[in-house]
Chain A
């Protein structure tokens, strides 16, 4: 742990302000609470909102997992994990089941979340109506009156043009029957995991200075139409490493000849399945220690 910084980097006044915002965010599910976002030692777009939320929430007895697009071993995930190991001295893990706080960029783990876990999402654009209405004063009024018809029109235009709703990620949801919310750029594959999850979901947007939340066991409905129901992505392939047919797959180019394979985006889920002996790349069971 490095000396000379407050626990988890932020000063206590800032943490208090963020904590007050988080409590109001949980009390008003899906509503974006403005907060005084601080300058962080990494650029906007690298998870400054998520880091500030994690810094306000984390305690010395927490175990932190950080993922970027499902992977624990990418630059962004590794740096953020190290940042908290250095500034808060907290235990870190790559295993979803061992984590008490999971900070994520653009995925929700495949492993079922449990009560008591907190997921912190890194959010680039918190406002679901932003591309339809650029003025903050207007979008705020639209949220105040739950005036969301413009989003239905947008989705309808998708159907008219493409024959289906073309949004594949950051797919708009309605929280607890009231607020329209951006789930952050997770694939719509992950939207059903938000619905009535036992875990607490916190969303932090650093550049846009907003915090919002979905409490546990809360209805999160992906917008759709009766004749065009919400559907998630499906693959006719399984993971080339662990054989999973139920996880979100990334297509990876493996050679110069255009060869490609599909693998789990969630590295921990994939590794855990392989440890359990699943798939073409199953890890052989460890030999029992003779000394035991």
Chain B
């Protein structure tokens, strides 16, 4: 059996750096941040996705790997010990690719009393860019900001329908290689 690809060389410092980059992204929806990844990354996950997995997953976080991301299962199990969620709505974290996207409503949206018990979905999407057609507004954004969010229109339409369920909702992180942009549940997206 081949060795799994390596994880962080310095797990303490690199986890902190990945977390801070992600915190910056979630605090400023639409802002593109660099998330430096591990030395080796598994098949099925991008650099930023791998870094987020290593920084945040452990035995307490069932994870769901959609489509091609499923190839990373042995790597995630080896480095983080995160159990596989049997269904998307049982996952704390889910990883997907833009080409094979599950519907936003398929995930755990939390409850009105505990909206934090919801899935964070991390989608690899080539072509992420600051500026563009999508107009973002909401907490963390001074006025409005623009971004290019290369995901199907239908996905954003389905996400917009979840807005009325707030505080329940799905928190999204879009990644493109080593870069990431967050769309927490409270961010309004128009024109994507």
Residues of B within 8 A of A58 (CB): 16
Closest approach, in angstroms, between the C-beta of A12 and any C-beta of chain B?
6
Partner of A26, one of B11, B13, B166, B184: B184
Interface flags for A138-175 (1: CB within 8 Å of B; 0: not) read 00110111000000000000000000000000000000
Q: Is the interface of B mostly helix, strand, loop or mixed?
A: loop
Interface flags for B9-46 (1: CB within 8 Å of A; 0: not) read 00111011101101100111000000000000000000
Residues of A within 8 A of B16 (CB): 7, 15, 58-59
CA distance A89 to B49 in the complex (A): 29
Interface flags for A246-270 (1: CB within 8 Å of B; 0: not) read 0000000000000000000000000
A123 CB within 8 Å of chain B: no
Residues of B within 8 A of A102 (CB): none
Stretch of B67-75, B109-117, B155-163 contacting A (4+ beta carbons < 8 Å): B109-117
Interface size class on chain B is 35 or more
**CB nearest to B187 among chain A residues:** A27
Among B56, B139, B141, find the residue whose CB has the most chain A CB atoms closer than 10 A. Answer: B139
Closest approach, in angstroms, between the C-beta of A179 and any C-beta of chain B?
8
Partner of B22, one of A16, A23, A28, A198: A23
Would you call A26 and B27 a contact (CB within 8 A)?
yes
Stretch of A43-51, A104-112, A214-222 contacting B (4+ beta carbons < 8 Å): A214-222
Partner of A29, one of B20, B58, B171, B186: B186
Partner of B140, one of A6, A59, A218: A218
Would you call B12 and A217 a contact (CB within 8 A)?
no
Residues of B within 8 A of A200 (CB): 23, 27
> Could you tell me which residues of chain B, from 140 to 183, have a CB within 8 Å of some CB in chain A?
140-142, 166-167, 171
Would you call A28 and B140 a contact (CB within 8 A)?
no
Q: With A27-B171, A217-B142 as known contacts, state yes or no: A176 contacts B116, CB within 8 Å.
A: no
Would you call B142 and A22 a contact (CB within 8 A)?
no
Residues of A within 8 A of B166 (CB): 178
A3 CB within 8 Å of chain B: no
**CB nearest to B59 among chain A residues:** A13
Residues of A within 8 A of B27 (CB): 26, 200, 215-216
CA distance A24 to B142 in the complex (A): 20
Would you call B113 and A144 a contact (CB within 8 A)?
yes
B128 CB within 8 Å of chain A: no
A21 CB within 8 Å of chain B: yes
Would you call B58 and A60 a contact (CB within 8 A)?
no
Residues of A within 8 A of B23 (CB): 19, 22-23, 26, 57, 200
A31 CB within 8 Å of chain B: yes
Partner of A144, one of B28, B60, B112: B112
Interface flags for B106-147 (1: CB within 8 Å of A; 0: not) read 000001111110101000000000000000001111100000
Q: With A13-B58, A19-B56, A216-B28 as known contacts, state yes or no: A28 contacts B167, CB within 8 Å.
A: yes
Which residues of chain A have a CB within 8 Å of any CB of chain B? 6-7, 12-13, 15-17, 19-29, 31, 33-34, 56-60, 140-141, 143-145, 176, 178-179, 196, 198, 200, 215-219
A-B contact pairs, 6 of them (CB 8 A): A12-B11, A23-B56, A27-B185, A28-B167, A176-B186, A216-B28
Nearest first, the 6 A-B pairs at minimum CB distance are A27-B184, A144-B112, A215-B140, A24-B116, A217-B142, A218-B139
Which residues of chain B have a CB within 8 Å of any CB of chain A? 11-13, 15-17, 19-20, 22-23, 26-28, 55-58, 60-61, 92, 111-116, 118, 120, 138-142, 166-167, 171, 184-186
